A and B are shown apart, each in its own frame.
Chain A
Amino acid sequence: MAGAPAIVDANRALQDRARAREDAAVRRPIVRFRGVKKAFGAMTVLEGIDLDLYPGEKVVVIGPSGSGKTTLARMLMTLETPSGGEIEVDGEPLFTMVRRGRRVPADERHLARVRGKIGMVFQHFNLFPHMTVLRNVTEALIHVRRIPPEEARRRTMAMLERVGMAEHADKYPAQLSGGQKQRVAIARALVMEPKVMLFDEPTSALDPELVGEVLAVIKEIAAKGDMAMLLITHEMQFAREIADRIVFIDGGKIVEQGPPEEVLLRPKSERLKAFLARFRNGMGLR
């Protein structure tokens, strides 16, 4: 019989192709930085960043002060506009769009639509001081996502529970410690269900004894979510525990990247070695 194996083969080929498509879909980056440049006036801060972030991936960005880590995150959040290159989110350019067959700078509607997939936690929390904890979190759900108030409240309380802030729902930010504020800020970003979360030094404005509670919350989120995370931090031990990949930026470029053990324990470049040397003491890095 010559026909049957042929059909089986054809079937297998079809299945293989379907699986490959699925894999490709899974493996498609949620964020791609492609040759992204940024200059402030005459000062070039980033000179060509290529970086892919995959769904669910946790990438930690490290680098010396002034190397452009914050700028990188702020561009993805559309708080800054790149001077060159392009950022793609979910397969779609962020800062340009097609209008009448031509690629033009993105308008506010396009930015808003793509931006909805990104959330950000700031170094200085940036909570809304005139709103209670509860309203800080419900506000965008109700007025941006247009979720009915009752449902928004329910989701908010669940999220506050998760970050351990439910019993403080009726307080104002001024009544909270730094660590508590940052946990509320995390809940506020998370409740919007972004596909990518940005954390820009979420613990560096905190008193040392409050760092742990915030890092614990971030770890818990990282463990459960299929959300991609881009974290900027100087907490090397934390970076090592949470990261799938660590990216070292210096002089406006990605100098080295790879799995945490590789980057932190077997740095190749002199610049990364010098950078890590400053953290070696007391950081638990062998």
Chain B
Amino acid sequence: MGDEWRWDVAWAAARKIAAVVPVTIAATVLGFVVAAAAGLAWTIARRSRSALVRGAVEAAMEFVRRTPLLVQLLFLYVAFPRLSVFAIGVIGLGLHYGAYLSEVYRAGIEAVDRGQWEAARALNFSRQKTWTRIILPQAIPPIVPMMGNYLIVLFKETPLLFAINVTEMMAVAKQFGSETFRYLEAFTVVGVFFFLMSYPASLVVRWLEARFGRAG
């Protein structure tokens, strides 16, 4: 054990950690898909005609946003022992970020002119078709950059899955460290991997912003 940086150790760590990069990416992508779907469902439920539905959704979202993701993950882990830890991680990330994405969707939907709803109603579109054919196609493009930002934030939060025993990059690094007593290289490699993935992603988001403009 020493404090000096060793490239050979770093390479060894990198090879091990690289093997679970797909896990991190899968958790990110699936978590974001769940978040995008849950966020949209909540946003639409928040506009329900039933005050009960509105109140319940509002309360649930408030709770999710006011409590730490780590606590939520541990809660789900304990509450649903039959689910795989990966599934729990995806659901936890999805619900948590869904609550944030719901705000983004809301901004996008509120930016759609009221006349669009009225024209849809005058033409007798059903509620569902009004959403899918008229409102969402206008509400979503402007919020794509914001959603991209949340995708990157969610990606950077995946090391929390380590707490519920998902074998992602952080878990592998920790194990590598405990076996070799070289934590410095292992954790550095994790940081570099995150940077190598999130920096290009942020460039894509910047490009999207230029393309679609900003909203929210």
B is a partner of A: yes
Chain A interface residues toward B at CB < 8 A: 77-79, 108, 112, 115-116, 118-120, 122, 124, 126-130, 139-140, 143-144, 188-189, 192
Given A77-B122, A79-B118, A188-B123, does the pair A126, B113 have CB atoms closer than 8 Å? Answer: yes
Task: Tell me which residues across on chain A come within 8 A of B124, comparing CB atoms.
Answer: 112, 115-116, 140, 144, 192
CA distance A124 to B113 in the complex (A): 11
A-B contact pairs, 16 of them (CB 8 A): A112-B126, A115-B124, A119-B123, A120-B122, A122-B119, A126-B119, A127-B119, A128-B119, A128-B134, A128-B138, A130-B138, A139-B133, A140-B123, A144-B124, A144-B126, A189-B123
CA distance A108 to B129 in the complex (A): 14
A122 and B121 within 8 A (CB): no
- Most chain-A CB neighbours within 10 Å: which of B115, B124, B137? B124
User: Min CB distance, B212 to chain A, in Å?
Assistant: 13
A77 CB contact (under 8 Å) in B121, B126, B127, B137: B121
A126 and B115 within 8 A (CB): yes
B122 and A143 within 8 A (CB): no
A192 and B123 within 8 A (CB): yes
Task: Tell me which residues across on chain B come within 8 A of A108, comparing CB atoms.
Answer: 127
CA distance A79 to B121 in the complex (A): 8
Verify if B125 is at the interface (C-beta below 8 Å from A): yes
- Most chain-B CB neighbours within 10 Å: which of A78, A115, A128? A128
User: Min CB distance, A198 to chain B, in Å?
Assistant: 8
Task: Tell me which residues across on chain B come within 8 A of A143, comparing CB atoms.
Answer: 125, 129, 133
Task: Tell me which residues across on chain B come within 8 A of A115, comparing CB atoms.
Answer: 121-122, 124
Task: Tell me which residues across on chain A come within 8 A of B119, comparing CB atoms.
Answer: 122, 126-128
CA distance A188 to B119 in the complex (A): 10
Which A residue's beta carbon lies closest to that of B115? A126
Task: Tell me which residues across on chain B come within 8 A of A120, comparing CB atoms.
Answer: 122
Verify if B116 is at the interface (C-beta below 8 Å from A): yes
Task: Tell me which residues across on chain B come within 8 A of A130, comparing CB atoms.
Answer: 137-138
Interface magnitude class on chain B? 10 to 19
Chain B interface residues toward A at CB < 8 A: 113, 115-116, 118-119, 121-127, 129, 133-134, 137-138
B125 and A140 within 8 A (CB): yes
CA distance A47 to B125 in the complex (A): 31
Task: Tell me which residues across on chain B come within 8 A of A112, comparing CB atoms.
Answer: 124, 126
CA distance A140 to B113 in the complex (A): 19
CA distance A122 to B130 in the complex (A): 18
Task: Tell me which residues across on chain A come within 8 A of B133, comparing CB atoms.
Answer: 139, 143
CA distance A129 to B115 in the complex (A): 11
Task: Tell me which residues across on chain B come within 8 A of A78, comparing CB atoms.
Answer: 121
User: Min CB distance, B112 to chain A, in Å?
Assistant: 10
CA distance A119 to B134 in the complex (A): 18
B116 and A126 within 8 A (CB): yes
CA distance A119 to B119 in the complex (A): 10
B116 CB contact (under 8 Å) in A77, A116, A128, A144: A128
A79 CB contact (under 8 Å) in B122, B125, B138: B122
User: Min CB distance, B138 to chain A, in Å?
Assistant: 6
CA distance A130 to B138 in the complex (A): 7
Given A128-B134, A130-B137, A143-B133, does the pair A122, B115 have CB atoms closer than 8 Å? Answer: yes
B129 and A189 within 8 A (CB): no
CA distance A112 to B119 in the complex (A): 14
A122 and B118 within 8 A (CB): yes
User: Min CB distance, A185 to chain B, in Å?
Assistant: 8
CA distance A77 to B116 in the complex (A): 14
Task: Tell me which residues across on chain A come within 8 A of B116, comparing CB atoms.
Answer: 126, 128
Given A79-B118, A128-B138, 6 additional A-B pairs, CB 8 A: A77-B121, A115-B124, A128-B116, A128-B134, A139-B133, A140-B124
